[in-house]
Structure 1
Amino acid sequence: MGNTHPGATSPLGMVSACAYSGAYPTGYGRYAKNTEGVPEEMFEQLQASGFTHFQQSGTGAIRKYYNYVRVTPMVQPLDDLGEAWPLRDEVAEAGYYAATLDTGIRCELTVGTKVAVHRYTFPEHGSARVVVDMSCGGLAIELGRTVPLRAQVQSMGHGRAQGTVWMEGVPLSVYVEVDSPGWRQMLWYDRRLVDGGTRLDFDSIRHTTLRPFGMLFMGPTTAGQTIEVRLGFSLRGCDQARQNLERECGHGQPAFDPVKSGTQARWSEHLDRVQVEGGTPARRGVFATALYHSLIKPCFADDESPFWPTPGPYAFDVCTMWDIYKTQLPLLAAIVPDRAVALLESLIRVCEEEGNFPIGYRMARGADRFFRQASALVHTALADAHALGRAGLDWNWALVHMVDDLRRMYGEDFWEHGVVHPITHTLDLAYGHHCTAQVARALNDVGLADDLENRGRQWSNAFDPETGLLRDSEFYEGGKWNYSFRLLHDMAARIALAGGDRAFVGKLDRFFGFGAAPVKQPGRRPQPEEMAAGYALNRFEGLNNEPDMEAPWAYHYAGRPDRTAEIVHAALTWQFGTGPGGLPGNDDSGGLSSWYVWASLGLFPVAGQNLFLVNAPAFGRAAIRVGGGEFVIETSGHRETPIGVDGVDRDPPAQYVQSATLNGKPLHAAHLSAAAVHRGGVLHLRLGPEPSSWGREVRPPSLSDQSATSEEAR
């Protein structure tokens, strides 16, 4: 399960809209919460009690903070609100979702950047209804509900209403227009109409005192009659929600088709920024879907921060940096650089507002720091942006926050002792110091840079020289084997600590299971003993496991890019597909899909080091639209290998780079600077069926081995 949803979205937009069942994942689906084995079904078929807004995309055990403002078209009494009806005839396109409820109502959804538009086609009925439930939030599973802290709802007359709910300390306002001439409208509370009432106010709502409330529009329909519902959202009050609606939908006229066309045009323009040629239709479909998933999050709501008073970028759904910093942020930096810079400015504002860079940040006061996951991850994206010369940021101010953030939380112990547990935070903080040192040195603060660089060398304190692996500790979603193959800033020293190239490659081979028997996967309701035995194998857990995402490329640093080619090729061929289960685990806000995009292109970004590693691509030719023009990856000798599904070649071989040129000049290294990619050019890779000597001698750069930074590597 990728934990994605088929709802309507806009590229990196504020609003999404989808059918709502209340089940896991995302509120669209039919499963109970699950973190181990095959998930349990909550019900037998897809069903919906209405349509909600603000869905997660691909994250794991997240339950709250999503699925607000449920809109339900009904031909039943209000007492039946909350009943779920089977879904049929679903259609999902970029920017559009449609389904028919079992009641016979055809439901279509589209979104703009800050608006959603619903279109409902009713059967003939004497008393049809559109019900807006302002109390909805989260999922209908244990500990999954998000309850408003307080709320206000107001009926404005003439098919207009507005309201604000404070969710997790954040005010979410909506302005609603319902195009339904002659219909009655009223407020409701606890499934009872509020006769003559034009305003509801609630304070101090608790789980035990919550009763549903919202707006209702009701009247007769003829067969095939359509009712359009337009919703403008804002985090800065109902007036701004109304202005957002008017800006994208106009003043009271039907808006569904124009909004849909505009959003689909934005999707086409974004998706066209990466073009591939060759491959099977299935592989191209998986690639296009991966690129689409990579551009749903983070959610931008510019000029909407409820905490920062001035206009400017605001990204409110960064869930989480741990998921996206290795793959997705470098992809955004390449194909939507303006949004990548806006994200960094937004995170700097959050840091100034709350005192530290968030690991996770959602529509919630307090930034949900996810402190167990990792430390100092924003530093990698800032270091890369500075190395690329990105304008639009006050780099002196950014450096202030980078340095201060390193001394907070786990950073205080690292500052005093040079090591901290969980031990993975030692690696994070050492890397964060290295990234910050690069920015400080570029800004001519030599003393600060030297001090930071010296502290950055303390990554070695995390390793046991006897085993060449990380020291025993607690680990988040993995064990010491999963985290032991991080791509550090001094991989030459890391490999030497493990006993040299041969020993390091041997440990990697063991981790990836070369020569080992297949691992039996857990099924439904696995026993604790079964899970413990699986973890004890100390094996690669999968690409959806964040610590494992970059591990295949660790071979590059030991002179074995052929091993990287084998593992990446096998993953692309066998772990991804077009049907149910087409993702090998949580998509994690687009982090896994971004991995697929980079791996298919034959590139892998090393976050924080202004570096790309090069591998055999999955397509014969690809072009990335970057700021400097186009970066083209072309091949000769490429063999088309179909995606691994029944009925096709069951064992397509990997391909290996035999030689390479960059802009016509020989390239002997299996790496490129990010600057070389971002300014555009042509990388030509000659492929063959057997491993070669290419990329074995000139290693990617390491802090202790400056000779690796050759002219061709730069």
Structure 2
Amino acid sequence: MSSNLSRILDSVDPFIGTEPADLPAAQGLAASWWWPKAQVGNTHPGACHPLGMVSACACSGAYPTGYGRYGMSTEGAPAPLYDDYLASGFTHFQQSGTGAIRKYYNYFRVTPMIEPLDALGTRWKLQDESAEPGYYAATLENGIRCELTVGEKTAVHRYTFPEASSARVVLDFSYGGLAIEHGTTVPLRAGLESLGQGAAQGTVVMEGIPLSVYIDSDTPKSWRQLVWYDRRRVDGGTRLDFDYIRRTTLRPFGLMFMGPARAGTTIEIRMGFSMRGTGQARSNLEQALPGGFEHGFDRVRAQTHDAWSGYASQVEVDGGTPERRTVFATSVYHSLIKPCFAEDESPFWPSKGPFVFDIATMWDMYKTQFPLLTALDPAKGALMLESLVRIAEEEGNLPIGYRMARGSDRFFRQASALAHTVLADGYQLGLEGLEWDWALVHMQDDLRRGYGEDFADRGIAHPVSHTLDLATGYWCTAIVARGLGDHRLADELEAKSRAWTNAFGGDGLLRDSSFYEGGRWNYSFRLLHDMAARIKLAGGDKEFTAVLDRFFGYGAGPVTQLGVPPFGPEFAIGQDLNRFEGLNNEPDMEAPWAYHYAGRPDRTAEIVHAALSYQFGTGRGGLPGNDDSGALSSWYVWASLGLFPVAGQNLFLVNAPAFGGASLRFGGNDFELVTTGHVESGIGEDAAGSSVQYVQAARFNGKPLDYGFLTGNQLHGGGRLEIELGPEPSDWATKTRPPSASDRPDPARGGGARLQEFSP
């Protein structure tokens, strides 16, 4: 490997994905893909701690994070809500790359002002924005320089004022949500208390979530500290309590620090958060700043930078253009913002232990993001699995999606039995700390939840994509049962898992049904646990490849993408294409690797090369669609490394990487990726004319790797993967296929192989 290993943390651009997709015109295959969903990443550039509970960002009220200029959009390019980048203050708890939020987002708005309190809610223009992992800064048009940083459960604000006779920092406990229709939120109950000497505390409750804050500040001695209600100071008051708030009775309320400011006066606001009361919120702040709160901003910023460095140092790449390194580095960053780990913070049960939330898009995250998290931090991966089991224990089901809300907001329509895949992978990797016997109980019980009743009784469920989910869930549960020695149960579960065939019709595609955000073509190429039988059902390798070729647009011309609604005929025309959605939406994000199972890894190389070249870029418009909590970014990370996880199967498919090499630390061990014959290629316009590279041969730990996959244990165990690349397809990995449930090892037939045959 060359000495050009890049420290990727230095290349992260948190602004990527904050504006509508702005990518150079696609060429070749990528020009034939059609984008139906919102053409915006829906990310924000605010300060985030890796996998932390708290984020902080400038808030304009725009959809869906509170940051930015755009209104709600679910299809096509979003329409502007504002002409400029604006902020009415700085809020906490933002989603990342999703299309939906819950009520607790954007609470505890902090607004620095030199205007009267009546001006609270004004949106000032943002100037001189800058951001890096763990840090965000901007100057308001009134001249106040604003800086934010966060810890795992803390946030620290630093404001530098111009000269003003009456400056103030206002904390609004009543503000939250978004400035769109049905986007604002109202706390049901609230209370705050000024403790004197720069300290205060309070709690707001919404959707059953008690969100508490403890505040410490270092305001000048000449400044006053007071509470306010309905934009008026409460003279002499130190407490506000609201037992029951309705939209019709809500009046803004909060805390304020105010006084004269010389040019350069700096105010620091330090905040600890908890979902278990103000006492724990204070303890969280004290733990982040042991020995005292002074100079908290610089200390927390340094701690968070070190935390990001710890993750980023585990994924270093060799070579690549500056643009490609920026996109890759930012993808790693976006992959590690969610989910939120909040140890000992569950508001739903009293005991201590792991608690994980903002698993907002598990139907995408389980495919790419969870395998990346588990590879980079096996201990965190185990805590996440333990948290999933705890949710099932306390709330009655394994979640499909889990945002902070008491109630049934668990996305049951989107998918079924997804946690089973994550648990099966964790079991096969040997993640420690879980009671696997107890996990198996919940996995088995959960299979009859929701659409699972229909599947259990009739062997099929509609929407028919749930049939695939549930069949996979049975297969994954069987893996754990067999590993624990319950072979009778494993046999029963495996028999149920074969009902995936009921989802398919005679044309090799899924039966007609309703589908969530897609059509039957988008869902027809899932990487099932029995791809050998799936391909046989389609008529064999040649027939399966032909259907895939049509789906990916081989031989098709460019298509017209959607603009800003309302749409013309291009929407109906695009829907009728039954085409790959090109990473704009993720139901078919693993479909390019289906070619591996038909002995055509060259096709995988061509499609992945087109996606990496034309569907991602630098700048605010560098994402083709919702990042979905980091799942799309995780796809980019794996695809760039020439690897792709097959969820629930402890399997990674191998492809041509986009970099000359990489130094990785997966599973706590060093994994080195080395190529020969690699030719550098760019993205966007710089990719025009760059040829696809194909794997000619591969070696793993010095031995020939003639098949196109590694097990998760091999990847996590460390080693050296050497890949020889060339400009033309080869016969590499065309004979022995990736493992399938119904296969027996028989390379002469081109058959697959059981995974255990290749485990170390």
- TM-score bin (small chain): over 0.9
SS of equivalent to 1:327: helix
Evaluate the alpha carbon distance shift between residue 712 and residue 688 of structure 1 in structure 2; reply closer, same or farther with a 3 A threshold. farther
Residue 142 (structure 1) aligned to one of 181, 197, 204? 181
Q: List aligned pairs for 1:16-415, cutoff 5 A.
A: 16-62=55-101, 64-180=103-219, 181-250=221-290, 251-366=292-407, 368-415=409-456
Alignment check: 8 A CA contact 2:201 2:215 kept: yes
Is residue 523 from structure 1 mapped to residue 563 from structure 2 by the alignment? yes
Q: Give the conservation status (yes or no) of the 8 Å contact 1:308–1:349.
A: no
Give the superposition deviation at 1:712: 7.3
Matched residue, 2:744 = 706
Deviation at 1:316, TM superposition (A): 1.9
State the secondary structure of the residue aligned to 2:684.
coil
Counterpart residue identity of residue 150, structure 1: R
Matched, 1:502 2:542: yes
Matching residue's letter, 2:515: F
Task: State the distance in 2 between where 1:649 and 1:455 align.
Answer: 46
The worse-fitting range, judged by mean Cα deviation, of 252-261 and 291-300 is 252-261
Measured in 1, the distance between the counterparts of 2:71 and 2:252 equals 23
Query: Which secondary structure does the structure 1 equivalent of 2:109 belong to?
Result: strand
8 Å Cα contact 2:374/2:667 also seen in 1 = no
Distance between the aligned counterparts of 1:575 and 1:164, measured in 2?
Answer: 43
Letter in 2 for 1:185: Q
Deviates more, 1:135-144 or 1:620-629: 620-629
The letter of the residue matching 2:485 is N
Distance 1:237 1:544 in 2: 40
Could you tell me whether the CA contact under 8 Å between 1:34 and 1:61 is conserved in 2?
Answer: no
Q: Structure 1 residues 95, 367: CA separation in 2 closer, same or farther (over 3 Å shift)?
A: farther
1:131-183 deviations in whole A, cap 9, x for unaligned?
Answer: 00111111110111222111111111111111101121110000011211331
**Structure 1 counterpart of 2:204, which letter?**
V
Q: Scaled by the length of structure 2, what TM-score is found?
A: 0.92
How far is 1:367 from its partner?
Answer: 5.8
Q: 2:78, 2:102 → 1: CA distance? A: 15
Residue identity in the other structure for 1:339: K
Task: Tell me if 1:674 matches 2:712.
Answer: yes
Residue pair 1:616, 1:687 contacting (<8 A) in 2 also: yes
Aligned partners of 1:146 and 1:386: how far apart in 2? 41
Contact 1:34 1:40 in 2 (8 A): yes
CA distance in 1, matches of 2:344, 2:102: 27
Q: Deviations over 1:387-422 (max 9, x none)?
A: 111111000000000001101111111111110111
1:649/1:398 CA distance change after superposition, 3 Å: closer
Say if 1:491 and 1:310 are closer, same or farther in 2 by CA, change over 3 A: same
Counterpart CA distance in 2 for 1:413 and 1:649 is 48
User: SS in structure 2 opposite 1:188?
Assistant: strand
Paired with 1:252 and 1:492, the residues of 2 have a C-alpha distance of: 61
Q: Distance in 2 between matches of 1:528 and 1:14?
A: 42
Aligned-partner residue type, residue 389 of structure 1? G
1:470 maps to amino acid:
L
- Select the residue among 600, 606, 610 that pairs with 1:566: 606
Give the Cα–Cα distance (whole angstroms) in 2 for the partners of residues 361 and 192 of structure 1: 38
CA distance in 1, matches of 2:491, 2:633: 37
Measure, in 2, the Cα distance between the counterparts of 1:580 and 1:179: 35
1:9 corresponds in structure 2 to: 48
Indicate how the Cα distance of structure 1 residues 628 and 241 shifts in structure 2: closer, same or farther if over 3 A, else same: closer
2:21 maps to which residue? none
Greater Cα shift, 24-33 or 588-597: 24-33
Q: Which moved more, 1:701-710 or 1:513-522?
A: 701-710
Greater displacement, 199-208 / 36-45: 199-208
CA contact (8 A) 2:582 2:615 kept: no
Residue 471 (structure 2) aligns with: 430
Question: In the alignment, which residue of structure 2 is the partner of 1:449?
Answer: 490
Consecutive unaligned residues of structure 1, counting only runs of 5 or more, are: none
* Counterpart secondary structure, 1:565: helix
Q: Per the alignment, in what secondary structure is the counterpart of residue 427 of structure 1?
A: helix
The one-letter amino acid of 1:706's match is: R
Higher relative contact order, chain-length normalized (CA < 8 Å, sep 6+): 2
Structure 2: distance between partners of 1:533 and 1:206: 46
Question: What is the alpha-carbon distance in structure 2 between the residues aligned to residue 706 and residue 442 of structure 1?
Answer: 20
Q: Distance in 1 between matches of 2:168 and 2:101?
A: 32
* Aligned CA distance change for structure 1 residues 36 and 64 (closer, same or farther; 3 Å): farther
SS in 2 for 1:632: strand
- Kept after mapping to 2: 8 A contact 1:186/1:217: yes
**Deviation of residue 189 (structure 1)?**
1.5
Residue identity in the other structure for 1:704:
S
Residues 161 and 430 (structure 1 numbering): CA distance in 2 closer, same or farther, change over 3 Å?
A: same
**Kept in 1: contact 2:382–2:434 (CA 8 A):** yes
State the distance in 2 between where 1:291 and 1:225 align: 37
Query: Distance between the aligned counterparts of 2:504 and 2:390, measured in 1?
Result: 35
Partner of 1:689: 727
TM-fit CA distance, 1:518:
1.1
Q: What CA distance in whole angstroms lies between the structure 2 residues aligned with 1:593 and 1:276? A: 16
State the alpha-carbon separation in 2 of the partners of residues 355 and 95 from structure 1. Answer: 36
Q: Tell me by how many angstroms 1:529 deviates.
A: 4.6
Q: Distance in 2 between matches of 1:161 and 1:483?
A: 52
> Which is worse superposed, 522-531 or 136-145?
522-531
The alignment yields a C-alpha RMSD, in angstroms, of: 1.3
Contact 2:224 2:257 in 1 (8 A): yes
Tell me which amino acid in the other structure corresponds to 2:753. T
Alpha-carbon separation, structure 2, partners of 1:712 and 1:274: 29
Q: CA deviation at 1:347?
A: 1.1
Tell me if the contact between 1:667 and 1:712 (Cα under 8 Å) persists in the aligned partners. no
Alpha-carbon spacing, 1:663–1:504, altered in 2? closer, same or farther (3 Å): same
Q: Distance in 1 between matches of 2:565 and 2:317?
A: 41
Quick one: percent identity of the two aligned structures? 68
> Whole-Å Cα distance in 2 between the matches of residues 254 and 516 of structure 1?
60
Q: Distance in 2 between matches of 1:597 and 1:664?
A: 25
CA distance in 2, matches of 1:280, 1:530: 35
- Deviations for 1:252-298, whole angstroms, at most 9, x for unmatched residues? 42211111111101111111111100111111111110000001000
Q: Give the superposition deviation at 1:562.
A: 0.2
The answer (yes or no) to whether the contact 2:415–2:466 under 8 Å persists in 1 is yes
Is 1:542–2:582 an aligned residue pair?
yes
Over residues 457-507 of structure 1, what are the superposed CA-to-partner deviations in whole Å (9 max), with x where a residue is unaligned? Answer: 00000000x211101111011000000000000001111111111111111
Deviation at 1:204, TM superposition (A): 2.6
Alpha-carbon offset, residue 508 of structure 1? 0.6
Q: For 2:196, what is the secondary structure of its paired residue?
A: coil
Does the CA contact (< 8 Å) of 1:424 and 1:462 recur in 2? yes
Q: Post-superposition shift, 1:628? A: 5.0
**Partner of 1:547: helix, strand, or coil?**
coil
Per the alignment, residue 692 of structure 2 pairs with: 654
Deviation sequence 1:429-465 (CA, Å, 0-9, x none): 000000000100111111111111000000000000x
| Mean CA deviation greater in 274-283 or 189-198 | 189-198
Q: Could you tell which deviates more after superposition, 543-552 or 679-688?
A: 543-552
Determine if contact 1:70/1:134 at 8 Å carries over to the other structure.
yes
